[in-house]
Structure 1
Amino acid sequence: MMATPILETRSLSVSVPGKSRLPFVKGQTLDILRDVSLDIGRGEIISMVGESGSGKSTFGRTLVGLMNPSGGEILLDGEALPKSQASVRRLRKAAALLFQDPVTSFDPRQRIGSIIAEPRHIAGRGDTGRDAIAELAAKAGLTRNLLERFPHGLSGGQARRAAVARALSVTPRLIIADEPTAGLDLSVQAGVLNLFLDIRDDVGSAFLIITHNLAVARRVSDRVAIMYLGRIVETGPTRDIFAAPRHPYTQALLAAEPAPDPRKRRTEPPVIGETPSLLHRPTGCEFHPRCRFAQDRCRTEAPVETHLSDYHRIRCHTPLAPPASGDG
Protein backbone atom coordinates (compact mmCIF):
# COMPACT_ATOMS: atom_id res chain seq x y z
CA MET A 1 0.00 0.00 0.00
CA MET A 2 1.33 3.44 -0.98
CA ALA A 3 2.07 5.93 1.80
CA THR A 4 -0.13 9.01 1.99
CA PRO A 5 1.29 11.70 -0.35
CA ILE A 6 2.62 14.91 1.18
CA LEU A 7 0.63 16.96 -1.29
CA GLU A 8 -2.03 15.90 -3.76
CA THR A 9 -4.32 17.65 -6.22
CA ARG A 10 -7.59 16.21 -7.44
CA SER A 11 -9.20 17.64 -10.58
CA LEU A 12 -7.58 21.00 -9.87
CA SER A 13 -8.64 23.84 -12.16
CA VAL A 14 -7.58 27.48 -12.31
CA SER A 15 -9.45 30.13 -14.31
CA VAL A 16 -8.73 33.83 -14.63
CA PRO A 17 -10.70 36.59 -16.34
CA GLY A 18 -9.36 37.40 -19.77
CA LYS A 19 -8.74 41.01 -20.81
CA SER A 20 -10.14 42.74 -23.86
CA ARG A 21 -8.43 45.60 -25.65
CA LEU A 22 -11.81 47.31 -25.95
CA PRO A 23 -13.04 48.77 -22.64
CA PHE A 24 -16.69 48.09 -23.48
CA VAL A 25 -16.12 44.42 -24.38
CA LYS A 26 -16.04 41.90 -21.57
CA GLY A 27 -13.09 39.51 -21.76
CA GLN A 28 -13.53 35.75 -21.81
CA THR A 29 -12.50 33.50 -18.95
CA LEU A 30 -9.17 31.77 -19.47
CA ASP A 31 -8.97 28.20 -18.17
CA ILE A 32 -5.25 27.92 -17.42
CA LEU A 33 -5.48 24.57 -15.61
CA ARG A 34 -8.12 21.92 -16.23
CA ASP A 35 -8.71 18.78 -14.18
CA VAL A 36 -5.11 18.36 -12.95
CA SER A 37 -4.55 15.43 -10.59
CA LEU A 38 -1.08 14.73 -9.20
CA ASP A 39 0.32 13.25 -6.00
CA ILE A 40 3.78 13.97 -4.58
CA GLY A 41 5.27 11.49 -2.14
CA ARG A 42 7.78 12.03 0.64
CA GLY A 43 11.31 12.43 -0.73
CA GLU A 44 10.10 12.09 -4.33
CA ILE A 45 11.39 14.20 -7.21
CA ILE A 46 8.83 14.88 -9.95
CA SER A 47 9.51 16.93 -13.07
CA MET A 48 6.61 18.71 -14.76
CA VAL A 49 7.44 19.17 -18.44
CA GLY A 50 5.67 21.02 -21.23
CA GLU A 51 5.90 23.88 -23.70
CA SER A 52 5.89 27.51 -22.60
CA GLY A 53 2.38 28.59 -21.64
CA SER A 54 1.19 25.10 -20.78
CA GLY A 55 0.32 26.06 -17.18
CA LYS A 56 3.31 24.58 -15.34
CA SER A 57 4.19 27.73 -13.38
CA THR A 58 0.53 28.39 -12.58
CA PHE A 59 0.30 24.91 -11.08
CA GLY A 60 3.33 25.57 -8.85
CA ARG A 61 2.02 28.94 -7.71
CA THR A 62 -1.37 27.44 -6.89
CA LEU A 63 0.24 24.81 -4.67
CA VAL A 64 1.63 27.53 -2.38
CA GLY A 65 -1.49 29.70 -2.39
CA LEU A 66 -0.31 32.43 -4.76
CA MET A 67 -3.23 31.63 -7.09
CA ASN A 68 -6.70 30.46 -6.14
CA PRO A 69 -8.14 27.28 -7.63
CA SER A 70 -11.51 27.62 -9.33
CA GLY A 71 -12.30 23.92 -9.01
CA GLY A 72 -11.01 20.67 -7.56
CA GLU A 73 -9.10 20.36 -4.32
CA ILE A 74 -5.65 20.31 -2.74
CA LEU A 75 -4.90 17.71 -0.08
CA LEU A 76 -2.13 17.97 2.51
CA ASP A 77 -1.26 14.65 4.18
CA GLY A 78 -4.48 13.20 2.78
CA GLU A 79 -6.69 15.96 4.20
CA ALA A 80 -8.58 18.24 1.81
CA LEU A 81 -7.87 21.91 2.49
CA PRO A 82 -10.79 24.33 2.49
CA LYS A 83 -10.44 27.69 0.74
CA SER A 84 -9.22 29.87 3.59
CA GLN A 85 -6.23 31.89 4.74
CA ALA A 86 -5.52 29.21 7.34
CA SER A 87 -5.15 26.66 4.53
CA VAL A 88 -2.76 28.97 2.67
CA ARG A 89 -0.63 29.27 5.81
CA ARG A 90 -0.55 25.48 6.17
CA LEU A 91 0.52 25.11 2.53
CA ARG A 92 3.31 27.64 2.92
CA LYS A 93 4.64 25.87 5.98
CA ALA A 94 4.75 22.59 4.06
CA ALA A 95 5.92 23.84 0.65
CA ALA A 96 8.36 26.47 -0.58
CA LEU A 97 8.56 27.97 -4.07
CA LEU A 98 11.82 28.76 -5.86
CA PHE A 99 10.96 31.45 -8.39
CA GLN A 100 12.19 31.29 -11.97
CA ASP A 101 14.26 34.47 -11.52
CA PRO A 102 15.56 34.37 -7.95
CA VAL A 103 17.16 37.83 -7.98
CA THR A 104 13.88 39.62 -8.73
CA SER A 105 12.26 37.72 -5.86
CA PHE A 106 14.80 39.17 -3.40
CA ASP A 107 14.53 42.58 -1.73
CA PRO A 108 17.39 44.50 -3.39
CA ARG A 109 17.95 46.51 -0.20
CA GLN A 110 18.54 43.44 1.97
CA ARG A 111 21.75 41.51 2.32
CA ILE A 112 21.66 37.80 1.48
CA GLY A 113 21.99 36.74 5.11
CA SER A 114 18.89 38.75 6.04
CA ILE A 115 17.00 37.37 3.05
CA ILE A 116 17.72 33.80 4.13
CA ALA A 117 16.77 34.54 7.75
CA GLU A 118 13.51 36.36 6.93
CA PRO A 119 11.27 33.25 6.63
CA ARG A 120 12.44 32.13 10.07
CA HIS A 121 11.55 35.52 11.53
CA ILE A 122 8.09 35.32 9.95
CA ALA A 123 7.60 31.77 11.28
CA GLY A 124 8.59 32.90 14.78
CA ARG A 125 11.67 30.66 14.96
CA GLY A 126 14.51 31.87 17.14
CA ASP A 127 17.49 30.34 15.35
CA THR A 128 18.30 33.39 13.20
CA GLY A 129 21.77 34.21 14.49
CA ARG A 130 24.73 34.64 12.15
CA ASP A 131 26.15 31.19 12.85
CA ALA A 132 22.80 29.47 12.30
CA ILE A 133 22.24 31.29 9.00
CA ALA A 134 25.81 30.59 7.88
CA GLU A 135 25.30 26.90 8.60
CA LEU A 136 22.07 26.95 6.62
CA ALA A 137 23.76 28.75 3.72
CA ALA A 138 26.55 26.18 3.74
CA LYS A 139 23.99 23.43 3.11
CA ALA A 140 23.11 25.25 -0.11
CA GLY A 141 26.77 25.72 -1.06
CA LEU A 142 27.12 29.38 -0.07
CA THR A 143 30.17 30.63 1.81
CA ARG A 144 29.83 32.96 4.79
CA ASN A 145 31.28 35.98 2.98
CA LEU A 146 28.46 35.89 0.41
CA LEU A 147 25.92 36.54 3.16
CA GLU A 148 27.09 40.16 3.34
CA ARG A 149 26.40 40.83 -0.34
CA PHE A 150 23.32 42.34 -1.89
CA PRO A 151 21.38 40.32 -4.52
CA HIS A 152 22.90 42.18 -7.48
CA GLY A 153 26.35 41.08 -6.30
CA LEU A 154 25.66 37.36 -6.85
CA SER A 155 26.24 35.29 -9.94
CA GLY A 156 23.34 33.31 -11.43
CA GLY A 157 24.39 30.10 -9.70
CA GLN A 158 24.94 31.85 -6.35
CA ALA A 159 21.50 33.47 -6.58
CA ARG A 160 19.89 30.05 -7.13
CA ARG A 161 21.71 28.66 -4.11
CA ALA A 162 20.64 31.65 -2.02
CA ALA A 163 17.03 30.98 -3.03
CA VAL A 164 17.43 27.34 -2.00
CA ALA A 165 18.89 28.41 1.37
CA ARG A 166 15.94 30.76 1.92
CA ALA A 167 13.53 27.93 1.13
CA LEU A 168 15.33 25.56 3.49
CA SER A 169 15.20 28.05 6.35
CA VAL A 170 11.79 26.72 7.44
CA THR A 171 12.53 23.07 6.57
CA PRO A 172 9.84 22.57 3.91
CA ARG A 173 8.66 19.08 3.09
CA LEU A 174 8.18 20.03 -0.55
CA ILE A 175 10.26 22.41 -2.66
CA ILE A 176 8.73 23.63 -5.93
CA ALA A 177 11.50 24.76 -8.29
CA ASP A 178 10.36 26.80 -11.31
CA GLU A 179 12.92 26.46 -14.14
CA PRO A 180 15.81 26.11 -11.66
CA THR A 181 18.50 25.75 -14.35
CA ALA A 182 17.32 28.39 -16.84
CA GLY A 183 20.11 30.69 -18.01
CA LEU A 184 22.88 28.82 -16.19
CA ASP A 185 26.04 27.30 -17.64
CA LEU A 186 26.03 23.50 -17.84
CA SER A 187 28.49 23.13 -14.99
CA VAL A 188 26.39 25.39 -12.77
CA GLN A 189 23.23 23.51 -13.77
CA ALA A 190 24.85 20.27 -12.65
CA GLY A 191 25.75 21.85 -9.32
CA VAL A 192 22.17 23.00 -8.69
CA LEU A 193 20.72 19.59 -9.56
CA ASN A 194 23.26 17.80 -7.37
CA LEU A 195 22.28 20.17 -4.57
CA PHE A 196 18.64 19.09 -4.95
CA LEU A 197 19.65 15.44 -4.72
CA ASP A 198 21.75 16.15 -1.61
CA ILE A 199 18.85 17.98 0.05
CA ARG A 200 16.50 15.13 -0.74
CA ASP A 201 18.92 12.62 0.77
CA ASP A 202 19.89 14.72 3.82
CA VAL A 203 16.62 16.47 4.72
CA GLY A 204 14.02 14.26 3.03
CA SER A 205 12.34 17.09 1.13
CA ALA A 206 10.37 16.23 -2.00
CA PHE A 207 10.78 18.30 -5.17
CA LEU A 208 8.46 19.38 -7.96
CA ILE A 209 10.74 20.66 -10.73
CA ILE A 210 8.96 22.75 -13.35
CA THR A 211 11.03 22.70 -16.51
CA HIS A 212 11.07 22.53 -20.29
CA ASN A 213 14.55 20.98 -20.17
CA LEU A 214 14.21 17.27 -20.84
CA ALA A 215 17.81 16.61 -19.80
CA VAL A 216 17.01 17.98 -16.33
CA ALA A 217 13.95 15.75 -16.03
CA ARG A 218 15.92 12.70 -17.12
CA ARG A 219 18.80 13.49 -14.74
CA VAL A 220 17.04 13.83 -11.39
CA SER A 221 13.39 12.78 -11.57
CA ASP A 222 11.70 9.72 -10.14
CA ARG A 223 8.56 10.53 -12.15
CA VAL A 224 7.66 12.87 -14.99
CA ALA A 225 4.34 14.65 -15.60
CA ILE A 226 3.73 15.94 -19.14
CA MET A 227 1.45 18.99 -19.37
CA TYR A 228 -0.33 20.31 -22.45
CA LEU A 229 -2.76 23.26 -22.45
CA GLY A 230 -3.24 23.03 -18.70
CA ARG A 231 -3.82 19.28 -18.52
CA ILE A 232 -1.50 16.47 -17.52
CA VAL A 233 -1.64 14.16 -20.52
CA GLU A 234 0.86 11.55 -19.30
CA THR A 235 2.61 10.77 -16.05
CA GLY A 236 4.81 7.87 -15.05
CA PRO A 237 8.25 6.70 -13.95
CA THR A 238 11.00 8.65 -15.70
CA ARG A 239 12.59 5.56 -17.16
CA ASP A 240 9.29 4.39 -18.67
CA ILE A 241 8.39 7.80 -20.10
CA PHE A 242 11.73 8.29 -21.83
CA ALA A 243 12.06 4.70 -23.01
CA ALA A 244 8.50 4.23 -24.27
CA PRO A 245 6.25 7.32 -24.31
CA ARG A 246 2.62 6.36 -24.80
CA HIS A 247 1.06 9.76 -25.55
CA PRO A 248 1.74 11.28 -29.00
CA TYR A 249 2.55 14.65 -27.41
CA THR A 250 5.14 13.08 -25.12
CA GLN A 251 6.66 11.33 -28.11
CA ALA A 252 6.79 14.65 -29.97
CA LEU A 253 8.48 16.43 -27.07
CA LEU A 254 11.15 13.75 -26.81
CA ALA A 255 11.67 13.79 -30.58
CA ALA A 256 12.19 17.57 -30.46
CA GLU A 257 15.06 17.28 -27.97
CA PRO A 258 18.29 18.46 -29.65
CA ALA A 259 20.65 15.65 -30.60
CA PRO A 260 24.39 16.23 -30.06
CA ASP A 261 25.25 14.27 -33.20
CA PRO A 262 25.09 16.57 -36.29
CA ARG A 263 24.60 13.52 -38.51
CA LYS A 264 21.21 12.87 -36.89
CA ARG A 265 19.19 15.44 -38.79
CA ARG A 266 15.38 15.46 -38.78
CA THR A 267 13.60 15.13 -42.08
CA GLU A 268 10.29 16.38 -40.67
CA PRO A 269 9.14 18.31 -37.59
CA PRO A 270 8.30 16.12 -34.56
CA VAL A 271 5.00 17.95 -34.03
CA ILE A 272 2.85 19.85 -36.50
CA GLY A 273 1.23 23.25 -36.03
CA GLU A 274 1.30 25.74 -33.18
CA THR A 275 -0.08 25.52 -29.65
CA PRO A 276 -3.74 26.68 -29.72
CA SER A 277 -4.86 29.75 -27.80
CA LEU A 278 -6.48 29.23 -24.40
CA LEU A 279 -9.31 31.40 -25.69
CA HIS A 280 -10.04 28.92 -28.47
CA ARG A 281 -9.42 25.47 -27.06
CA PRO A 282 -10.00 22.67 -29.58
CA THR A 283 -12.96 20.41 -28.96
CA GLY A 284 -12.46 16.80 -27.95
CA CYS A 285 -8.81 15.98 -27.30
CA GLU A 286 -7.06 19.35 -27.26
CA PHE A 287 -3.98 17.91 -28.92
CA HIS A 288 -5.85 16.48 -31.91
CA PRO A 289 -5.11 19.39 -34.35
CA ARG A 290 -1.37 18.64 -33.96
CA CYS A 291 -1.55 14.87 -33.61
CA ARG A 292 -0.52 12.54 -36.43
CA PHE A 293 -2.71 9.77 -35.04
CA ALA A 294 -5.96 11.73 -34.52
CA GLN A 295 -9.20 9.96 -35.37
CA ASP A 296 -12.80 11.18 -35.59
CA ARG A 297 -13.40 10.36 -31.93
CA CYS A 298 -10.45 12.55 -30.92
CA ARG A 299 -12.08 15.60 -32.51
CA THR A 300 -15.31 15.35 -30.55
CA GLU A 301 -14.71 13.45 -27.30
CA ALA A 302 -12.28 14.49 -24.57
CA PRO A 303 -10.24 11.50 -23.32
CA VAL A 304 -10.42 10.54 -19.66
CA GLU A 305 -7.40 9.55 -17.64
CA THR A 306 -6.65 5.84 -17.77
CA HIS A 307 -4.11 3.74 -15.91
CA LEU A 308 -1.64 1.80 -18.03
CA SER A 309 -0.05 0.48 -14.82
CA ASP A 310 0.01 1.36 -11.12
CA TYR A 311 2.15 4.44 -11.76
CA HIS A 312 1.69 5.18 -15.47
CA ARG A 313 -1.37 7.24 -16.46
CA ILE A 314 -2.41 8.76 -19.76
CA ARG A 315 -5.15 10.84 -21.42
CA CYS A 316 -5.45 9.53 -24.96
CA HIS A 317 -7.98 7.59 -27.05
CA THR A 318 -5.24 5.89 -29.08
CA PRO A 319 -2.13 5.41 -26.93
CA LEU A 320 1.05 4.52 -28.75
CA ALA A 321 1.86 0.83 -28.71
CA PRO A 322 4.51 -0.25 -26.19
CA PRO A 323 7.75 -1.61 -27.67
CA ALA A 324 7.73 -5.32 -28.42
CA SER A 325 9.39 -7.47 -25.76
CA GLY A 326 13.05 -7.92 -26.51
CA ASP A 327 13.43 -4.55 -28.26
CA GLY A 328 16.38 -2.49 -27.11
Structure 2
Amino acid sequence: MTETLPHPHYRGRFAPSPTGPLHFGSLVAALGSWLLARHHQGEWLVRVEDLDPPREVPGAAHAQLATLAAFGMTSDLPVVWQSRRHARYAHALERLLAGGAAFECRCSRSELASVGGIHRRCVARDASRPAAVRLRVAEGTTVDFIDGLQGRIAQAVDRDVGDVVLRRADGYWAYQLAVVVDDAEQGITDVVRGADLLDSTPRQILLQRALGLPTPRYLHLPLIVDAHGDKLSKSMAALPVDDASPLPALRAAWQALGQAPALLAGLPTVTQAMQAAARGFRPERLPKVTHMTFAAAHNNPVAGAV
Protein backbone atom coordinates (compact mmCIF):
# COMPACT_ATOMS: atom_id res chain seq x y z
CA MET A 1 0.00 0.00 0.00
CA THR A 2 1.32 3.47 -0.82
CA GLU A 3 2.38 5.33 2.33
CA THR A 4 0.21 8.35 3.06
CA LEU A 5 0.13 11.24 5.47
CA PRO A 6 -3.01 12.95 6.79
CA HIS A 7 -4.58 14.50 3.70
CA PRO A 8 -3.12 17.97 3.15
CA HIS A 9 -4.88 20.88 1.56
CA TYR A 10 -2.19 20.81 -1.15
CA ARG A 11 -0.20 17.84 -2.42
CA GLY A 12 1.79 18.12 -5.64
CA ARG A 13 4.17 15.80 -7.44
CA PHE A 14 6.92 15.55 -10.04
CA ALA A 15 6.87 12.42 -12.21
CA PRO A 16 9.86 12.01 -14.55
CA SER A 17 10.27 9.19 -17.06
CA PRO A 18 13.70 7.51 -16.87
CA THR A 19 14.59 7.98 -20.52
CA GLY A 20 17.80 9.90 -19.80
CA PRO A 21 19.30 12.49 -17.46
CA LEU A 22 17.24 15.48 -16.35
CA HIS A 23 17.66 18.37 -18.78
CA PHE A 24 16.90 22.03 -18.25
CA GLY A 25 13.24 21.72 -19.27
CA SER A 26 12.72 18.98 -16.68
CA LEU A 27 14.42 21.13 -14.05
CA VAL A 28 12.04 24.01 -14.76
CA ALA A 29 9.02 21.70 -14.37
CA ALA A 30 10.40 20.17 -11.17
CA LEU A 31 11.27 23.53 -9.64
CA GLY A 32 7.90 25.03 -10.57
CA SER A 33 5.98 22.16 -8.99
CA TRP A 34 8.21 22.23 -5.87
CA LEU A 35 7.84 26.00 -5.45
CA LEU A 36 4.07 25.91 -5.76
CA ALA A 37 3.85 23.12 -3.19
CA ARG A 38 6.02 25.08 -0.77
CA HIS A 39 4.10 28.31 -1.47
CA HIS A 40 0.89 26.57 -0.38
CA GLN A 41 2.56 24.92 2.66
CA GLY A 42 1.82 21.59 1.02
CA GLU A 43 3.68 18.38 0.23
CA TRP A 44 5.75 17.52 -2.83
CA LEU A 45 6.08 13.92 -3.97
CA VAL A 46 8.21 12.21 -6.61
CA ARG A 47 6.94 9.34 -8.75
CA VAL A 48 9.11 7.48 -11.29
CA GLU A 49 7.15 6.71 -14.45
CA ASP A 50 9.06 3.56 -15.41
CA LEU A 51 6.35 1.76 -17.38
CA ASP A 52 7.94 1.73 -20.84
CA PRO A 53 11.05 -0.50 -20.68
CA PRO A 54 11.95 -0.14 -24.39
CA ARG A 55 12.44 3.62 -23.87
CA GLU A 56 14.15 3.51 -20.49
CA VAL A 57 17.89 4.10 -20.03
CA PRO A 58 19.54 1.85 -17.41
CA GLY A 59 20.40 3.85 -14.31
CA ALA A 60 18.53 6.95 -15.48
CA ALA A 61 15.90 6.86 -12.71
CA HIS A 62 18.44 6.87 -9.89
CA ALA A 63 20.48 9.53 -11.70
CA GLN A 64 17.39 11.72 -11.95
CA LEU A 65 16.68 11.34 -8.25
CA ALA A 66 20.29 12.23 -7.48
CA THR A 67 19.99 15.34 -9.67
CA LEU A 68 16.83 16.45 -7.89
CA ALA A 69 18.59 16.00 -4.55
CA ALA A 70 21.58 18.03 -5.77
CA PHE A 71 19.12 20.86 -6.49
CA GLY A 72 17.58 20.59 -3.03
CA MET A 73 14.42 18.74 -4.06
CA THR A 74 13.57 15.46 -2.34
CA SER A 75 10.21 13.77 -2.03
CA ASP A 76 8.26 14.36 1.18
CA LEU A 77 7.17 10.70 1.06
CA PRO A 78 8.97 7.59 -0.27
CA VAL A 79 9.37 7.66 -4.05
CA VAL A 80 6.71 5.66 -5.91
CA TRP A 81 7.81 3.45 -8.83
CA GLN A 82 5.10 2.72 -11.38
CA SER A 83 6.78 -0.56 -12.37
CA ARG A 84 5.76 -1.93 -8.96
CA ARG A 85 2.10 -1.01 -9.34
CA HIS A 86 0.82 -3.31 -12.11
CA ALA A 87 -1.89 -4.78 -9.87
CA ARG A 88 -3.43 -1.33 -9.29
CA TYR A 89 -3.65 -0.65 -13.02
CA ALA A 90 -5.04 -4.12 -13.73
CA HIS A 91 -7.76 -3.62 -11.13
CA ALA A 92 -8.80 -0.28 -12.65
CA LEU A 93 -8.85 -1.77 -16.13
CA GLU A 94 -10.98 -4.70 -14.99
CA ARG A 95 -13.52 -2.28 -13.52
CA LEU A 96 -13.75 -0.35 -16.78
CA LEU A 97 -14.09 -3.52 -18.88
CA ALA A 98 -16.71 -4.99 -16.56
CA GLY A 99 -18.79 -1.83 -16.74
CA GLY A 100 -18.53 -1.50 -20.52
CA ALA A 101 -16.53 1.73 -20.35
CA ALA A 102 -13.54 0.03 -21.99
CA PHE A 103 -13.20 -2.49 -24.82
CA GLU A 104 -10.59 -4.59 -26.60
CA CYS A 105 -9.30 -3.26 -29.93
CA ARG A 106 -7.10 -4.98 -32.53
CA CYS A 107 -6.74 -2.07 -34.95
CA SER A 108 -3.20 -1.52 -36.22
CA ARG A 109 -1.63 1.91 -36.64
CA SER A 110 -1.75 1.54 -40.42
CA GLU A 111 -5.43 0.67 -40.32
CA LEU A 112 -6.18 3.70 -38.16
CA ALA A 113 -4.07 5.89 -40.44
CA SER A 114 -6.50 5.04 -43.24
CA VAL A 115 -9.33 6.63 -41.20
CA GLY A 116 -7.39 9.68 -40.09
CA GLY A 117 -5.67 8.14 -37.07
CA ILE A 118 -8.62 8.76 -34.73
CA HIS A 119 -10.28 5.62 -33.36
CA ARG A 120 -14.06 5.87 -33.50
CA ARG A 121 -14.84 2.26 -34.44
CA CYS A 122 -12.77 -0.86 -34.87
CA VAL A 123 -11.53 -1.40 -38.42
CA ALA A 124 -9.18 -4.32 -37.69
CA ARG A 125 -8.94 -7.02 -40.35
CA ASP A 126 -6.79 -9.45 -38.34
CA ALA A 127 -8.68 -10.95 -35.41
CA SER A 128 -5.53 -12.76 -34.23
CA ARG A 129 -3.62 -9.58 -33.46
CA PRO A 130 -2.87 -8.91 -29.77
CA ALA A 131 -5.54 -6.59 -28.40
CA ALA A 132 -5.10 -3.16 -26.94
CA VAL A 133 -7.73 -1.88 -24.50
CA ARG A 134 -9.39 1.49 -25.09
CA LEU A 135 -11.68 3.79 -23.14
CA ARG A 136 -14.99 4.21 -24.94
CA VAL A 137 -15.49 7.90 -25.79
CA ALA A 138 -19.08 8.77 -26.68
CA GLU A 139 -19.95 10.94 -29.65
CA GLY A 140 -20.04 14.61 -28.75
CA THR A 141 -17.76 14.24 -25.72
CA THR A 142 -16.13 17.57 -24.89
CA VAL A 143 -14.11 18.16 -21.74
CA ASP A 144 -13.14 21.58 -20.49
CA PHE A 145 -11.29 22.73 -17.40
CA ILE A 146 -9.63 25.82 -15.99
CA ASP A 147 -5.87 25.56 -15.99
CA GLY A 148 -4.19 27.45 -13.16
CA LEU A 149 -1.90 29.29 -15.58
CA GLN A 150 -3.21 28.84 -19.13
CA GLY A 151 -6.90 29.57 -18.41
CA ARG A 152 -9.88 27.74 -19.88
CA ILE A 153 -9.00 24.70 -22.01
CA ALA A 154 -11.57 22.75 -24.00
CA GLN A 155 -11.11 19.64 -26.13
CA ALA A 156 -13.55 17.63 -28.23
CA VAL A 157 -12.12 14.31 -27.10
CA ASP A 158 -14.18 12.23 -29.53
CA ARG A 159 -12.98 14.18 -32.58
CA ASP A 160 -9.48 15.20 -31.47
CA VAL A 161 -8.36 12.04 -29.66
CA GLY A 162 -10.89 9.26 -30.14
CA ASP A 163 -11.13 6.18 -27.95
CA VAL A 164 -8.23 6.45 -25.52
CA VAL A 165 -5.66 3.64 -25.23
CA LEU A 166 -5.45 2.27 -21.67
CA ARG A 167 -3.27 -0.79 -22.28
CA ARG A 168 -1.17 -1.10 -25.40
CA ALA A 169 -1.25 -4.11 -27.70
CA ASP A 170 2.28 -4.99 -26.56
CA GLY A 171 0.97 -5.39 -23.02
CA TYR A 172 2.44 -2.20 -21.55
CA TRP A 173 0.22 0.16 -19.56
CA ALA A 174 -0.65 3.45 -21.20
CA TYR A 175 0.44 6.65 -19.47
CA GLN A 176 -3.14 7.94 -19.23
CA LEU A 177 -4.38 5.05 -17.09
CA ALA A 178 -1.32 4.86 -14.84
CA VAL A 179 -1.19 8.58 -14.09
CA VAL A 180 -4.89 8.76 -13.21
CA VAL A 181 -4.72 5.75 -10.88
CA ASP A 182 -1.55 7.00 -9.18
CA ASP A 183 -2.68 10.61 -8.72
CA ALA A 184 -5.85 9.40 -7.04
CA GLU A 185 -4.17 6.86 -4.76
CA GLN A 186 -1.46 9.31 -3.72
CA GLY A 187 -4.03 12.00 -2.93
CA ILE A 188 -2.57 14.47 -5.41
CA THR A 189 -4.56 17.70 -5.23
CA ASP A 190 -2.51 19.74 -7.70
CA VAL A 191 -0.77 18.59 -10.88
CA VAL A 192 1.93 21.03 -12.03
CA ARG A 193 3.78 19.97 -15.19
CA GLY A 194 4.93 21.10 -18.62
CA ALA A 195 2.52 22.34 -21.27
CA ASP A 196 3.42 19.41 -23.54
CA LEU A 197 0.89 17.46 -21.44
CA LEU A 198 -1.84 20.10 -21.66
CA ASP A 199 -3.81 18.22 -24.32
CA SER A 200 -3.59 14.98 -22.29
CA THR A 201 -5.50 16.53 -19.41
CA PRO A 202 -9.04 16.29 -20.88
CA ARG A 203 -8.68 12.57 -21.52
CA GLN A 204 -7.35 12.09 -17.98
CA ILE A 205 -10.35 13.97 -16.60
CA LEU A 206 -12.63 11.75 -18.69
CA LEU A 207 -10.95 8.66 -17.27
CA GLN A 208 -11.21 10.01 -13.72
CA ARG A 209 -14.93 10.39 -14.25
CA ALA A 210 -15.25 6.85 -15.62
CA LEU A 211 -13.45 5.46 -12.54
CA GLY A 212 -15.26 7.72 -10.07
CA LEU A 213 -12.00 9.39 -9.00
CA PRO A 214 -11.46 13.01 -7.94
CA THR A 215 -10.05 15.49 -10.44
CA PRO A 216 -7.07 17.48 -9.14
CA ARG A 217 -6.34 21.07 -10.05
CA TYR A 218 -4.02 21.46 -13.04
CA LEU A 219 -1.38 24.04 -13.89
CA HIS A 220 0.78 23.72 -16.99
CA LEU A 221 4.10 25.56 -17.05
CA PRO A 222 5.75 26.79 -20.27
CA LEU A 223 7.49 24.04 -22.19
CA ILE A 224 11.16 24.84 -22.83
CA VAL A 225 12.00 24.37 -26.52
CA ASP A 226 15.05 24.89 -28.71
CA ALA A 227 15.41 27.55 -31.40
CA HIS A 228 13.51 25.31 -33.84
CA GLY A 229 10.57 24.84 -31.49
CA ASP A 230 11.47 21.25 -30.62
CA LYS A 231 11.03 19.91 -27.09
CA LEU A 232 14.38 19.73 -25.31
CA SER A 233 14.11 15.99 -24.76
CA LYS A 234 14.25 15.61 -28.56
CA SER A 235 16.87 18.31 -29.11
CA MET A 236 20.64 18.72 -29.03
CA ALA A 237 19.98 21.52 -26.54
CA ALA A 238 18.92 18.88 -24.00
CA LEU A 239 22.26 18.79 -22.22
CA PRO A 240 21.95 17.38 -18.70
CA VAL A 241 22.07 19.86 -15.87
CA ASP A 242 25.24 19.68 -13.79
CA ASP A 243 24.77 18.02 -10.39
CA ALA A 244 28.25 19.12 -9.34
CA SER A 245 27.56 22.80 -10.03
CA PRO A 246 23.79 23.28 -9.69
CA LEU A 247 23.55 26.98 -8.88
CA PRO A 248 23.82 28.38 -12.45
CA ALA A 249 21.05 26.08 -13.75
CA LEU A 250 18.96 26.71 -10.62
CA ARG A 251 19.14 30.49 -11.13
CA ALA A 252 18.28 30.07 -14.83
CA ALA A 253 15.27 27.87 -14.03
CA TRP A 254 14.13 30.40 -11.41
CA GLN A 255 14.30 33.13 -14.05
CA ALA A 256 12.50 30.96 -16.62
CA LEU A 257 9.63 30.81 -14.14
CA GLY A 258 9.39 34.61 -14.31
CA GLN A 259 10.90 35.21 -10.89
CA ALA A 260 13.16 38.13 -9.95
CA PRO A 261 16.83 37.13 -10.56
CA ALA A 262 18.08 39.36 -7.75
CA LEU A 263 16.47 37.14 -5.10
CA LEU A 264 18.97 34.34 -5.76
CA ALA A 265 21.94 36.40 -6.90
CA GLY A 266 25.06 35.97 -4.79
CA LEU A 267 23.74 33.17 -2.58
CA PRO A 268 26.60 30.68 -2.26
CA THR A 269 24.78 27.37 -1.60
CA VAL A 270 21.83 25.46 -3.00
CA THR A 271 20.29 25.28 0.47
CA GLN A 272 20.34 29.05 0.85
CA ALA A 273 19.07 29.57 -2.70
CA MET A 274 16.16 27.16 -2.27
CA GLN A 275 15.20 28.70 1.07
CA ALA A 276 15.19 32.14 -0.54
CA ALA A 277 13.23 30.81 -3.51
CA ALA A 278 10.57 29.28 -1.27
CA ARG A 279 10.20 32.57 0.62
CA GLY A 280 10.28 34.85 -2.42
CA PHE A 281 8.33 32.86 -5.02
CA ARG A 282 5.45 34.78 -6.59
CA PRO A 283 3.00 32.60 -8.59
CA GLU A 284 1.54 35.66 -10.31
CA ARG A 285 4.88 36.14 -12.08
CA LEU A 286 4.71 32.77 -13.88
CA PRO A 287 4.74 33.36 -17.68
CA LYS A 288 1.27 32.71 -19.10
CA VAL A 289 2.58 31.01 -22.24
CA THR A 290 2.77 27.41 -23.39
CA HIS A 291 6.26 27.50 -24.94
CA MET A 292 9.49 29.34 -24.20
CA THR A 293 12.78 29.11 -26.09
CA PHE A 294 15.83 27.71 -24.31
CA ALA A 295 17.80 30.91 -24.97
CA ALA A 296 15.02 33.16 -23.72
CA ALA A 297 14.58 31.08 -20.57
CA HIS A 298 18.18 31.94 -19.66
CA ASN A 299 17.72 35.65 -20.37
CA ASN A 300 14.28 37.22 -20.64
CA PRO A 301 11.57 34.53 -20.46
CA VAL A 302 8.66 36.77 -21.38
CA ALA A 303 10.35 38.33 -24.41
CA GLY A 304 11.12 34.89 -25.82
CA ALA A 305 7.77 33.27 -25.13
CA VAL A 306 5.58 32.01 -27.96
Q: For this structure pair, what is the TM-score category when the shorter chain's length is used for normalisation?
A: 0.3 to 0.5
State which structure, 1 or 2, has the greater radius of gyration over its C-alpha atoms: 1
TM-score scaled by structure 2?
Answer: 0.34
TM-score scaled by structure 1?
Answer: 0.32
